A = this chain, B = another copy of it.
Amino acid sequence: MMSARRFKFWGWGYTDETASDDERQRLREFYSRCFSVSRWNEISPPVAEEISLRSPRIKAPAALAGICSDDTEERLIHCYGKSYPDSVRAFARHFPEPPDLVARPRNEDDVVNVLDFADGVNAAVIPFGGGSSVVGGVETAISGDYRGVISLDLQKLERVLEIDDQSRAARIQAGVLGPQLESQLKPKSLTLRHFPQSFQYSTLGGWIATRSGGHFATRLTHIDDLVESVRVVTPTGICETRRLPGSGAGPSPDRLFIGSEGTLGVITEAWMRLQASPCFRAATSVRFSKWHSATEAVRAISQSGLHPSNCRLIDNQEAMTTGAGEGSTHILVLAFESADHPVDSRLARALEIAGEYGGQWDRDTLGRGDAHRSGESGAWRHAFLRAPFYREVLTAMGVMYDTFETAITWDRFADLHQNIINTTRRIIREVTGREGSVSCRFTHVYPDGPAPYFSFYALPKRGSELEQWREIKHAASDALIAAGGTITHHHAVGRDHRPWYDRQAPGQFRAALRAAKKSLDPKAILNPGVLVDP
């Protein structure tokens, strides 16, 4: 019933993947220097046999027995997502509220039947894509008066059902993981071209439900713009929007479901807009000695209409942490790509703009199609892809490493940035009793503002990691909201961001969303506690 490769229940990726010995050694040495710690007392990762779970409170009916499981490891995998507190709880062998059942529907009828069953027994249903949530979006520890909790794992809905190469679109099942999706499109030389950091371990349905952001800096990077239509199983029936390139007929039905985080229905399929695979590329990295000059250069490039595929600004602190620099300069990773025409002139114009703000670059990297995989860009890219695997090493060592992100208009960015850096540094010092580190990069940029992404590390007290993390998270989130930002640009709301979401979303809109939810999910069985209260 399960695929041969299993996801870890305590960390990122499959059980056969982890940080290498070299990487572990480098992490130990780096954080030894940071915190003046000479020896790390490392906790070993949990194994399923150590953990005894609460007995399932509900039992699958005979008709669903074939797709439901109460196997311990299966339930463990579906307890948590992949956030820092998830990792801390996993390493503490703390799994007090597992799902009673894990259902892996093979088709849409199975999804309907699981919802019917849950409705009948008053069980909550937590839709689960790849489980890569870092905001408590798939957590099964919920409040409310439910007789049980079912984690609804969509990964068997993994097929591309139809490709329309005239319109460059495909009808795709929602449970497909990134690599499976791309491999099914490849024979047609088409691509969804949506590569979030979690690409290998997250699903199309998860991307749509959480308004995922791809790794491209500008244009067609948010999943929102790639959705042509969606098909959703709600507790009151199936809803399929019409496949259209554009429409002005009332508020967009798609946009109600995009970002609904499993609270309004279970996305089972979507028609997605595809692109031809790029074959023209130009890339380089630009160094800036002043942060303000660097952000102004990025602002000018983002307003130029050049549409770089990558325009990621990495501050000197983050460059150092990731090995992309030695800490004295800020690095702008700049790339262009096209499936139709050369992009060298666009890179040249972007560099001209960067130069006006004091940016410097190596002329000999220009024109190398693989520039984004070599040099500073390459080092940063490697760290970016490997970073999620480091969490299980760092949590084992006792190091807190976490990230949070936002978006803000340019006029308020400098204040927000300073505020967040200062607040987070201060709260880390106050809570943990020693200095930590906070760094920033831009993951996406818009003509009207950047999406700044903050990474921090700290050394919490052993046994108090969760409380100390919570204090830091609260202070940083309060500061984000006070400075006018969004509580999330692409990580989603989940359960962790809920208090700040409630401050961000206008009251009238929240009332309307509650009413919409009540009409689609009258018994509030879907993902209780996320976005709206049951």
Where the two chains meet, the residues of A that have a C-beta atom closer than 8 Å to any C-beta of B are 164, 166-169, 210-213, 222, 224, 228, 232, 234, 236-253, 255-261, 264-265, 273, 275-276, 299, 303-306, 338-341, 345, 349, 407-411, 444, 446-451, 484-493, 497, 501, 504-509, 511-516, 518-520, 531
Scoring A210, A265, A409, A451 by chain B CB atoms within 10 A of each residue's CB, the highest score goes to A409
Smallest CB gap from A340: residue in B: B304
Contacts of A338 on B, CB cut-off 8 Å? 305
Q: Is the CB of A249 within 8 A of B493?
A: yes
A146–chain B nearest beta-carbon distance, Å: 22
Pull 6 A–B residue pairs with CB atoms less than 8 Å apart, ordered by A: A224-B252, A245-B448, A250-B493, A251-B260, A264-B512, A305-B338
**Is A250's CB under 8 angstroms from B341's CB?**
no
Chain B min CB distance to A223 (Å): 9
The contact of A512 among B275, B340, B410, B516, by CB within 8 Å, is B516
In the complex the two chains form, what is the Cα distance from A246 to B513 in whole Å? 20
Chain B residue numbers with a CB within 8 Å of A304 are: 340-341
Q: Are B249 and A486 in contact (CB under 8 A)?
A: yes
Q: Which residues of B contact A239 (CB under 8 A)?
A: 506-509
A336 → chain B closest CB, angstroms: 11
Whole-angstrom distance between the Cβ of A353 and the nearest chain B Cβ:
8
Known: A516-B516, A519-B515. A248 touches B491 (CB 8 A): yes
Are B488's CB and A167's CB within 8 A? Answer: no
| Complex alpha-carbon distance, A278 and B288, angstroms | 29
Task: Determine if A451 and B167 form an interchain contact, defined as CB atoms under 8 angstroms apart.
Answer: no
Complexed CA–CA distance, A303 and B73 (Å): 46
Chain B min CB distance to A225 (Å)? 9
* Residues on the B chain within 8 Å of A247, using CB: 211, 407, 486, 488-489
What's the least CB distance linking A337 to chain B, in Å?
9
Residue of B nearest to A349 (CB): B341
> Chain B: which residue is nearest A346 at the CB level?
B341
Contact of A232 among B168, B253, B508 (CB under 8 A): B508
A234 to chain B, nearest CB (A): 5
Q: Cβ of A514: which chain B residues have Cβ within 8 Å of it? A: 519
User: Is the pair B409, A234 in contact by a Cβ cutoff of 8 Å?
Assistant: no
Q: Which residues of B contact A507 (CB under 8 A)?
A: 237, 239
Point out the residues of chain B lying under 8 angstroms from A497, CB to CB. 249
Nearest CB in chain B to that of A501: its residue? B249
Contact partners of A234 in chain B: CB under 8 A: 508
For residue A506, which residue of chain B has the nearest CB? B239
What is the CA–CA distance of A485 and B261 in the complex, to the nearest angstrom?
A: 29
Please measure, in the bound complex, the distance between the C-alpha atom of A249 and the C-alpha atom of B237, giving whole angstroms.
25
Q: Are A166 and B509 in contact (CB under 8 A)?
A: no
Besides A244-B408, A251-B257, A508-B520, 20 more A-B contacts (Cβ < 8 Å) are A168-B303, A169-B409, A210-B248, A211-B247, A212-B248, A234-B508, A238-B508, A239-B506, A244-B485, A247-B488, A249-B486, A250-B260, A250-B261, A252-B258, A256-B256, A273-B447, A306-B341, A512-B515, A512-B519, A516-B516
Is A251 touching B246 in the complex (CB atoms < 8 A)?
no
With A245-B449, A306-B341 known as contacts, the answer to whether A509 contacts B253 (CB < 8 A) is yes
Q: How far is the CA of A237 from the CA of B510 in the complex (A)?
A: 12
| The one of B248, B444, B520 that contacts A511, using a Cβ cutoff of 8 Å | B520
Out of B248, B504, B509, which one reaches A259, CB within 8 Å?
Answer: B248
| Complex CA–CA separation, A117 to B493 (angstroms) | 39
Name the B residues within 8 Å of A257 (CB-CB). Answer: 251
Q: Which residue of B lies closest to A252 (CB)?
A: B255
- In the complex, the answer to whether B260 meets A246 with C-beta atoms within 8 Å is no
For A237, the chain B residues whose CB sits under 8 A away are: 507-508
The interface residues of chain B lying within 8 Å CB-to-CB of A487 are: 249
Structural contact, B255 and A409, CB atoms closer than 8 A = no
A340: which of B243, B275, B306, B520 is its contact (CB, 8 Å)? B306
Tell which of B168, B241, B255, B345 touches A506, judged by Cβ atoms closer than 8 Å. B241
The distance in angstroms between the C-alpha atoms of A240 and B505, with both chains bound, is 9
Contact A256 B251 (CB under 8 A): yes
Q: Is the CB of B449 within 8 A of A244?
A: yes
Q: Write out the residue numbers on chain B whose beta carbons fall within 8 Å of the beta carbon of A276.
A: 303
Q: How far is the CA of A222 from the CA of B339 in the complex (A)?
A: 25
Residues of the B chain whose Cβ atoms lie less than 8 Å from the Cβ of A506:
239-242, 253
Pick from B299, B341, B520: contact of A166, CB below 8 A.
B299
Roughly how many angstroms separate A410 CA and B252 CA in the complex, as a whole number?
21
Q: Which residues of chain B are near A513, meaning CB under 8 Å?
A: 250-251, 516
Q: How far is the CA of A275 from the CA of B258 in the complex (A)?
A: 27
Report whether B167 and A248 are in contact in the complex, using a CB–CB cutoff of 8 Å.
no
- In the complex the two chains form, is A250's CB within 8 Å of B515's CB? no
Cα A261 to Cα B169 with chains together (Å) = 30
State A75–B373 Cα separation when bound (angstroms).
Answer: 67
> Separation in Å of the A421 CB from the closest CB of chain B?
20
Of the candidates B167, B210, B411, the one whose C-beta lies within 8 Å of that of A410 is: B167
